[in-house]
Structure 1
């Protein structure tokens, strides 16, 4: 069994879908299917049951999944140790705000414990690039928010945060317990510069074209609300200044916190694994 084939199998076993696994691996589906069939021939057991309902693991497949994950982790750790012995190793992490997020703090602590010899370089990014420089090759992995155009990227969802409308505290709508997007239809919103990822813009603009001041960072968003009385969106877990408030929106999907990468080296794979564990401890959704 080759490590590459085991990675293919793990991707299919985790996604339970050959198409999604192929996209995650940046390959087409036919060679992925052939690789899994060859693996089944090598181990002499059926690992996956394919049906109209989808893909399911057999008992043999479940057993191999546990072993494969352990083997791949050992291989990644070996690569990291060899790289460390050959010279200083580093990983560049792009972060979109949320620097005080307790889940991110837990992830940082776990990564330092596992990779004490690895230098972690952090690139803080404004709201105009949700991939935090990933597409431009400025970072190895991004800890960010979605949704955005994920073509060519691997994106794993870590948590979902309910979202609300940011308003001045003296705004008549600020007295409401909750709002719908229709309640804000005639208001000016803060918006992002032209050229910003359209999927990202559509979400934070509530799915509609908006008029209002152009902003690039979180503080600019808040100041636009404070000075101009404009409207914007914010995860409910964030606390705006005292002159502003956030009212929950009932008809907007929760906002995903994600880890994303383009090239999955051992340090990046370890980061994604630890991120999944760190964020799972909160149950996957933050409500306040």
Structure 2
């Protein structure tokens, strides 16, 4: 069994879909299918049952998934220890996620537990750079939100959060159970500085050009709503600050929490971070 083949199998077993697994691995489906078939011949058992709706693990496949994950984790740990011993034991992580996010807490605990010899430096960034300094070479990996331009980057979605409109508690719309973007037409929204990634700006402005104050950080958004009645969009899941309300917007796509790194980066510390992030956010 080759490590690459085991990684292919784990991707299919986790995604339960050859197409999604191929996209995750950045390969086409035919070589992925052939690799899994070779693995089934090697182990002498059917690992996956394919159907029009997706993939189902067989009992043998479930056992191999556990074993493959454990083996790949051991290989990952060895590579990280070697890198640390060779003097490459520092990982700089850019973050734009909610610091109260339980997924981020699980990620930090798991990475520290598995790789105690690695020094992790966290760089928090403002709202104008969704890649958290990744493109500028200021960080090795980013824990952030999409969408943003992907050129030269690899992105893995960890979770998708529904979003809502941040309004003052005395706003006429604040008492509604749900809103649509049309309900917010003509209102002033907060905007990001010139030069901000256009996909990022368009998402948080509900896909429309908006007028309103320019903000650089979350607290500036909060104050713009509190003092001026500006409309903002934020992920659901946390109680809004005092005096504000968060009302679900039903026709906006969820906000994706993602881990991003430079395409082709073979740094074992980055690879370990990505693998642990996926597991941590899966819960």
Flag whether TM exceeds 0.5 (same fold).
yes
Once superposed, what is the RMSD of the aligned Cα atoms?
Answer: 2.8
Determine the C-alpha separation between the residues in 1 that align with 2:195 and 2:54: 38
DSSP 3-state at the match of 1:147: coil
- In 2, Cα distance between the equivalents of 1:260 and 1:88? 20
1:220-277 per-position Cα deviation (integer Å, ceiling 9, x unaligned): 3223334443211122445555454333334434433333334464433433344345
What is the DSSP-based 3-state SS (H/G/I as helix, E as strand, rest coil) of the residue aligned with 2:274? Answer: helix
Specify the SS of the correspondent of 2:121.
strand
Q: Which residue of 2 aligns with 1:77?
A: 77
Cα contact 2:166–2:244 (8 A) shared by 1: yes
Give the aligned partner of residue 285 of structure 1: none
Structure 1 residue 98 and structure 2 residue 79: aligned? Answer: no
| Matched ranges for 1:46-195 at <5 A | 46-150=46-150, 152-158=153-159, 160-195=160-195
Instruction: Indicate the larger mover: 176-185 or 64-73.
Output: 176-185
In the alignment, the residues of structure 2 paired with residue 157 and residue 10 of structure 1 have an alpha-carbon distance, to the nearest angstrom, of: 16
Kindly provide the CA deviation profile for residues 82-135 of structure 1, in whole angstroms up to 9, marking residues without a partner as x: 222323511121100423434423432332222211000112122223232334
What is the CA–CA distance in structure 2 between the aligned matches of 1:58 and 1:177, rounded to whole Å?
43
Measure the CA separation in 1 of the matches of 2:34 and 2:124: 41
State the Cα deviation string for residues 200-236 of structure 1 (Å, max 9, x = none). Answer: 3333112323222232321232233344432111224
Q: 1:250 to 1:33 in 2, by over 3 A?
A: closer
Cα gap change, 1:174/1:55 in structure 2, threshold over 3 Å: closer, same or farther? closer
Q: CA deviation at 1:280?
A: 4.5
- Who is 1:272 aligned against? 274
Give the CA deviation at 1:78: 1.2
**Displacement, 1:188?**
1.5
Change (3 A) 1:180 1:85: same
Report the TM-score, using the length of structure 2 for normalisation. Answer: 0.83
SS at match of 2:179: coil
Preserved contact between residue 225 and residue 232 of structure 1 (Cα < 8 Å): yes
Shift of 1:136: 4.2
> 1:195 and 1:47, CA in 2 relative to 1: closer, same or farther beyond 3 A?
farther
Query: 1:221: which partner in 2?
Result: 221
- More displaced 10-residue stretch of structure 1: 268-277 or 227-236: 268-277
Aligned match of 1:41: 41
- Secondary structure, aligned partner of 1:153: strand
Aligned length: 280
Partner SS, residue 7 of structure 2: helix
| Structure 2: runs of 5+ lacking an equivalent | none
Q: Are the counterparts in 2 of residues 222 and 240 from structure 1 also a CA contact under 8 Å?
A: no
Distance in 2 (alpha carbons) for counterparts of 1:52 and 1:162: 29
TM-score by length of 1: 0.82
SS in 1 for 2:173: helix
Partners in 1 of 2:116 and 2:133 — Cα distance? 25
CA distance in 1, matches of 2:266, 2:6: 15
Structure 1 stretch 102-111 or stretch 3-12: which is displaced more?
Answer: 102-111
Does structure 2 conserve the Cα–Cα contact (< 8 Å) formed by 1:95 and 1:142?
yes
Deviating more after overlay: 124-133 vs 72-81: 124-133
Question: Segments of 4+ in structure 1 off by > 6 A?
Answer: none
Q: Secondary structure at the residue paired with 1:157?
A: strand
Q: How far apart are the structure 2 equivalents of 1:278 and 1:12?
A: 19
